[in-house]
Structure 1
Amino acid sequence: MTTLTRDPARTAPAGPRRSGWVPRLGGPAWLVWRQHRAAFWTLVAATLLGALVMVHLREQMMDYLASQDASSRKSGGLPPEFEAYADRLFSVGSYLGYIPVLAGVFLGAPLIAGDLESGTAKLVTSQSVSRLRWLTMKLALPAAMLALSTAVLTAVFTWWWSPVKGLSDGLSWTSFFSVTGVTPVAYALLTFTVGVAVGLLLRRTLVSMVVTLGIVVALGFVWDQVWRSLGNVMSVSTDQGVGPDAVPPELPAQAEQQGQGTYFLTDAGDRLDWTTCLDQMENAGAHTACLESKHVTGWSVDYLPVSQMHSMQWLGAGLMFAVTAVVVAFVILRGRKRLL
């Protein structure tokens, strides 16, 4: 996504000026904007287009919901015809999930690797601009553009999803945890800085992009495995037995069940795995006698409530911001000592 077809130091004017509509920039800021203006304008255009598409789709969804008589809705759910609108939400949400990949591979990895490979970095740092100042601006301006773009898209998508998030289990908060709130911004900045660090180390654009892709995929796998652990797991239980007439515990609205499922709860407060007495399941009497021998008095279910969603997102984002800060420090220190 970077444009390095010519050396910006040779084409830069003596004083700051504007190319088209650009904020008044000078020095390294103007140089970075000029060098990567094609990538920046592409980012702006993609953001505006994505936001407009989501606004249009939301208007269609709201018009459809408004046209439905309250009596035509299922109790606590949405009309069956709403599935098409839900599919659009899932599709757009999945597309937004690729932002961290694009940020790391196409924006972060070539940012410095391309300059090192083409010799632009050597030319720029041989002028009056210090390495620290150049590195800082090379990181700051693309990061600011990326954060703003991601924040806008995330805000519009959250606005689209909010009216229906509590109306269907299929539109649960866990399905959109990583593409709403502050999480996408932190995630995109993390993969961007990781790509920059890889490019600084490998110094070759294509190789850096490939390696960054592998690292970002690995980060995504780890994130999918650990984000639920950011919440405080709660439980709900019963004490009226587990026979045919007993009522299982009911989870709060929009809660996500955790663990292996439903546990057996004993009178001592211990929890037994659901496979307890499984070999006696074919004989109802034997199964009941087995559970009674283990003093089972009810069920227990673990869950994550929707009320913890925002705190979990901020905690996860905080961890990502911390790692991002470490990677940025590494890039600055490494670049000052061994840039060329």
Structure 2
Amino acid sequence: MSTMTSTGSTGGPAPAPSDPARTKAGRGPRLSGMNWLVWRQHRAAYWTLLAATAITVAVIAYQRGQMVTYLEGYGWPDLKSGWQERFDQGPLNMTAQLLGYAPLLIGVFMGAPLLAGDLESGTAKLVNAQSAGRVRWLATKLGVTALVVTVCTTAASVAFTWWWSPVKSSSYVMSWSDALAFDSSGPVPVALTLLTVVGGVAIGMLLRRTLLSMAVTFGFAVAVQMVWSRVRLFFGDVVTVTTGNGVGDGSFPKLPDSANVLDQSYLTASGDLIGWGSCNEATDKAAAACLDKAQVVGWHIEYLPLSQMSAMQWLGSSILLALTAGIAAFVILWGRKRLF
């Protein structure tokens, strides 16, 4: 029997076969362990969200290019009067509305089933048979999901803010204090989405039924939006302007562009305030007599300037993120002892 070994062209021993696992490992960083398991389990949801974000950003980039081309015809960035007449604000408003639905949709379809699906099917019990433990499993589930959501919502928010910025100072297109603009730009979309997602995870952990958790998370997301819509303007520092030169033509105080007027009242000689519609009489003569009787001397205006928008968004978002962190801590502490 021959004992010869195969040799290479130079007569030396043949090279050892390459190890596929080692070759793959050398290509770059890859997910492993619990991170890989979580990504593998929820990859359909993650890739769907990433793809939707990529499409959204691409559409926004195209629409902004179209908008800037139009505005350049009116001297942008120093816009001349009349640019609003043919400006199509439909795409901007529609995109803002779609971004406003993102916290609800992502919370319902990604947050609620994250734990509820495993608890309902019983696959979560396999965690007990692993060395990783419940806390690591829960933390990885929350961490990977929160990372994907943060990346996607940040990209969409940055793109929308970039698109809106050339006409941001004009209330004709979109008032900065309304939900369409305020909740679709800056850090607000990220904070709102993380709160509804982590809230959905907590709901799914407690209810342990996927469809029921999705329904309850829907109600939770709607409640968050309703509460947020009522409190978001409270994060601003109200500016007050008073005048004493009457309330006739030309007496109304000049406010900054896009100022959001919160209150508009008449100021009397005694310093009291009365509603500006109190002397809305049928004739100008009767209205003037009403103003004289009330001793109205000027205007009292309370407003929020556009310059406060960014600070208001960051303050409100920090509160939302603090609530999110609290819910995430509850999920881990509860799940550590009572998950199964």
TM range, normalised to the smaller chain? 0.7 to 0.9
- How far apart are residue 18 of structure 1 and its match? 7.8
In the alignment, which residue of structure 2 is the partner of 1:316? 316
What is the 5 A alignment of 1:173-212?
A: 173-175=176-178, 176-212=181-217
- What is the CA–CA distance in structure 1 between the aligned matches of 2:175 and 2:24, rounded to whole Å? 47
In the alignment, which residue of structure 1 is the partner of 2:165? 162
Residue 128 (structure 1) aligned with residue 131 (structure 2): yes
Residue 119 (structure 1) aligned with residue 122 (structure 2): yes
In the alignment, which residue of structure 1 is the partner of 2:90? 87
In the alignment, which residue of structure 1 is the partner of 2:7? none
In the alignment, which residue of structure 2 is the partner of 1:250? 254
Residue 249 of structure 1 contacts residue 300 of structure 1 at CA under 8 Å; is this kept in 2? Answer: no
Task: Give the greater-gyration-radius structure (CA).
Answer: 2
- How far apart are residue 41 of structure 1 and its match? 1.3
Residue 229 (structure 1) aligned with residue 231 (structure 2): no
- How far apart are residue 59 of structure 1 and its match? 0.7
In the alignment, which residue of structure 2 is the partner of 1:53? 59
- When residues 323 and 17 of structure 1 are mapped into structure 2, their CA distance, relative to the original with a 3 A threshold, is farther
- What is the CA–CA distance in structure 1 between the aligned matches of 2:278 and 2:74, rounded to whole Å? 47
Residue 255 of structure 1 contacts residue 304 of structure 1 at CA under 8 Å; is this kept in 2? Answer: yes
- When residues 60 and 121 of structure 1 are mapped into structure 2, their CA distance, relative to the original with a 3 A threshold, is same
- When residues 187 and 69 of structure 1 are mapped into structure 2, their CA distance, relative to the original with a 3 A threshold, is closer
- When residues 123 and 282 of structure 1 are mapped into structure 2, their CA distance, relative to the original with a 3 A threshold, is same
In the alignment, which residue of structure 2 is the partner of 1:151? 154
- When residues 217 and 16 of structure 1 are mapped into structure 2, their CA distance, relative to the original with a 3 A threshold, is farther
- How far apart are residue 321 of structure 1 and its match? 0.8
1:272 to 263, 271, 274: 274
- When residues 110 and 313 of structure 1 are mapped into structure 2, their CA distance, relative to the original with a 3 A threshold, is same
Residue 176 of structure 2 contacts residue 182 of structure 2 at CA under 8 Å; is this kept in 1? Answer: yes
Which amino acid letter does the alignment assign opposite residue 32 of structure 2?
Answer: G
Residue 74 of structure 2 contacts residue 83 of structure 2 at CA under 8 Å; is this kept in 1? Answer: no
- When residues 18 and 233 of structure 1 are mapped into structure 2, their CA distance, relative to the original with a 3 A threshold, is farther
- What is the CA–CA distance in structure 2 between the aligned matches of 1:206 and 1:106, rounded to whole Å? 10
Residue 112 of structure 2 contacts residue 210 of structure 2 at CA under 8 Å; is this kept in 1? Answer: yes
- When residues 17 and 128 of structure 1 are mapped into structure 2, their CA distance, relative to the original with a 3 A threshold, is farther
After superposition, the CA RMSD in angstroms is 2.3
Q: Deviations over 1:40-59 (max 9, x none)?
A: 11121111111111101111
- When residues 304 and 132 of structure 1 are mapped into structure 2, their CA distance, relative to the original with a 3 A threshold, is same
- What is the CA–CA distance in structure 2 between the aligned matches of 1:22 and 1:287, rounded to whole Å? 78
Secondary structure of the structure 1 residue equivalent to 2:132: coil
Of 165-174 and 306-315, deviating more is 165-174
Secondary structure of the structure 1 residue equivalent to 2:303: strand
In the alignment, which residue of structure 2 is the partner of 1:331? 331
Which amino acid letter does the alignment assign opposite residue 91 of structure 2?
Answer: R
- How far apart are residue 141 of structure 1 and its match? 0.3
TM-score of the superposed pair, with normalisation by structure 1: 0.87
- How far apart are residue 67 of structure 1 and its match? 3.2
Which amino acid letter does the alignment assign opposite residue 210 of structure 2?
Answer: T
Structure 2, unpaired ranges of 5+: 1-20
- When residues 18 and 217 of structure 1 are mapped into structure 2, their CA distance, relative to the original with a 3 A threshold, is farther
Residue 28 (structure 1) aligned with residue 34 (structure 2): yes
TM-score of the superposed pair, with normalisation by structure 2: 0.87
Residue 60 of structure 2 contacts residue 159 of structure 2 at CA under 8 Å; is this kept in 1? Answer: yes
Of 188-197 and 262-271, deviating more is 262-271
In the alignment, which residue of structure 2 is the partner of 1:295? 295
- What is the CA–CA distance in structure 2 between the aligned matches of 1:27 and 1:69, rounded to whole Å? 56
Identity across the alignment (%) = 49
- When residues 269 and 81 of structure 1 are mapped into structure 2, their CA distance, relative to the original with a 3 A threshold, is same
Structure 1, unpaired ranges of 5+: 1-14
Number of aligned residue pairs: give it.
315
Which amino acid letter does the alignment assign opposite residue 272 of structure 1?
Answer: I
Moved over 3 A (4+): 15-19, 67-70, 283-287
Residue 16 of structure 1 contacts residue 25 of structure 1 at CA under 8 Å; is this kept in 2? Answer: no
